[in-house]
Amino acid sequence: MIYLLDLFLIALGAALINNFVFYYFVGICPFIGVSRHLDMAVGMGCAVTFVMVIAAFISWTITTFVLMPGAPVSAWVAGFFLAPETAATIDLSILCYIAYIFAISSSVQFVEMYVRKFFPKLYESFGVFLPLITTNCAILFACLTIMAKVTAADTPADAWGLDKALTLAFFGGLGFTIAIVIMAGIREELELADVPRPFKGAAITLIIAGILAMAFMGFTGVDAGLRNALAM
Amino acid sequence: MAEQPTTTERFIQGILPENPVYRQLLGLCPTLAVTANLQSALTMAGAVCFVMFCANVVISLIRNLLKPHLRIVVFTLTIATFVTIADRFLAAYLYGMSKMLGPYIPLIIVNCIIICRCEVCASKQSPITAAGDALGQSIGFGIALFSIAFVRELLGTGTLFGFQVMPETWPGWGIMVLPPGAFLTFGILLAGVNRITMYQDARKKHRGL
C-alpha cells in the first residue's frame, strides 16, 4: 500500500505538481516551436514520452551498475588493474553527463531506425520529431533527476529502484504532453483572435504559458495533503 | 557558396542583431529558469560563455575531420566535456551558487544556442572567427539574461544583486520570482523588442523610398 502510494505520488508530482514545462522550464523550445497544431503537439508529446522512458531505463542502469561510487561493474573491471580495496571505492560519477548525453543521442538514433523499419505508419506521424528530441532538455533533465535520486540517497534503501525511475519518466513525459496539447488547443483558437502585432507568435505564447503556469501552481501541496489523508 | 561573415561581423551580430534569446528564441530553458535573481543569471551567462568559447574553438579546430552524419554527436560530446569542467569548477569555488543552479548547469549540454553556433559557424570557419562568434553570442545571451533577471528581481523582491533598491515598503510581487513571472516577464520584454524592430524596419523602408 505504502509502495503504491509512493509510486502514485511520484506520478502525480511529475505530471501535474512539478510539471516539467511549467515548473522546471525544461523542454520550452519544442513547447514554443511545435505547439501550433494539435496533431503535431500530440505527436511530439508521444515521441518525448517514448524516448524519455527509454532514456530513463538506460540512465538508471548505467548509473546503478557503472557510474555510482562503488558500482559493481566498474569495481569488477577495476579489480583487474588495482588493489581490491581501491577498486571497491571507484567512483565514475564525474563521467555521468557525457555518459547520459551519449546514451540519449544513441538511443534516439536506434529508436528512429527501429520505428522506421517496423512501424512505418508511426514513423510518418512522429518520425520527424525524433532527431529533435536529442537536444530536448526534458530528457536529460529526467535522467539527471533520476541520477540525483539514486546517488544522493542517504541509505541504500532510499535509492530509487527501476520502478520509480520509469514512473517518473513516463508521467513526466505525460505532463509534457498535457502541457503542449493544452497550449496547441489554445493556439489554434488564437489564430482567430486579434493579437497586437508585437505580441504575435512567441510573445503571446509565453504570456499564455505564464497564465497556465499560474493555474498549475494550484496543484502545489496536493501531494502532501494526499499523503496525510491516505497514510492515516 | 556565399561569402562567410568575418570575425568582427560575427561578433557584432551575436550581441543584438541576431541576439540568441530575443531574435532566435534559442536556449529558453536557462533564460526562464535561472533569472529569478541577477547573481544566478550572471553565473549562468558566465558558464555558458566558457562552454561556448571552448566548444566553438575545439569544433573549429577539428572541423575538417567531422563526418556529416556524426557531427551532432561530436558536438554534444565536446560540449558535455566542457560542461563537466564548468560544473566541477562551480562546485569547488561557488558551492552555494552551484547548489542553487542545480540541474541547469548540466542542462547547458543541450542548450540549443551552443549546438547551433557549432553547426552554423564553428564547423565552417577558422578558430579565430569561431572564438569571436562565441564571445558575441555569449554577450548577447548575457544581456538577455540580465534584462529579464533585472525586471524579475527588482519587482519580485525589490533588490538588485541582493541589495535593497526599492523603498522598504515595496510589497514584492511574489509572482515575479515564481515560475509564472518568468514567462510573463519574458513574453512582455520579447514583445517590446519586437516593437522596436518593427519601428526600425519601418524607418528603414521609409528612408529607402
Q: Give this complex's ipTM.
A: 0.83
Closest Cβ opposite residue B110 in set A25, A137, A199: A137
Average confidence (pLDDT) over B18-26: 82
Q: Can you give the pLDDT at residue B1?
A: 40
Closest Cβ opposite residue B179 in set A27, A197, A213: A213
Least confident of A185-189, B137-141, B160-164: B160-164
Which residue in A31, A101, A136, A208 has the most chain B C-beta atoms within 10 A of its own C-beta, making it the best mutation to test that interface? Answer: A101
pLDDT at B2 over 60: no
Confidence class for position B209, pLDDT limits 50, 70, 90? low
Q: Can you give the pLDDT at residue A154?
A: 67
Average confidence (pLDDT) over B170-174: 80
Three cell numbers written together for A119: 512501424
Q: How far is CA B197 from CA A197, B114, B169, in A?
A: 12, 25, 37
Average confidence (pLDDT) over B167-195: 86
Average confidence (pLDDT) over B160-187: 83
For A193, residues 6+ apart whose C-beta sits below 8 A from its C-beta are none
Chain A contact present for B33, CB below 8 A: yes
Percentage of residues of chain A with pLDDT beyond 70: 93
Average confidence (pLDDT) over A121-142: 74
The top-scoring range by mean pLDDT among A77-81, A95-99, A200-204, A210-214 is A210-214
Return the SS3 of B50: helix
Query: Contacts of residue B152 in chain A, CB cutoff 8 Å?
Result: none
Percentage of residues of chain B with pLDDT beyond 70: 98
Least confident of B4-8, B87-91, B149-153, B185-189: B4-8
Shortest alpha-carbon distance between residue B185 and chain A (Å): 8
Average confidence (pLDDT) over A78-87: 77
Q: Which amino acid is at B157?
A: T
* Phi/psi at B19 (5° precision): -50, 125
CB-based contact A145 B103, cutoff 8 Å: yes
Write out pLDDT tens, residues B56-113. 999 999 988 888 777 878 888 899 999 999 999 999 998 888 888 888 888 888 888 8
Which of A161, A128, A135 is closest to A56 using CA atoms?
A: A161
Write out pLDDT tens, residues A188-218. 888 888 888 888 888 888 999 999 999 988 8
Average pLDDT value for chain A: 83
In the block, cell 569555488 appears at B93
Average confidence (pLDDT) over B21-26: 82
pTM value? 0.85
Which residue in B104, B189, B190 has the most chain A C-beta atoms within 10 A of its own C-beta, making it the best mutation to test that interface? Answer: B190
Write out pLDDT tens, residues A9-34. 888 888 888 888 888 888 887 888 77
Q: Structural domain boundaries of chain B?
A: 17-208
Q: Can you give the pLDDT at residue A126?
A: 65
Chain B contact present for A219, CB below 8 A: no
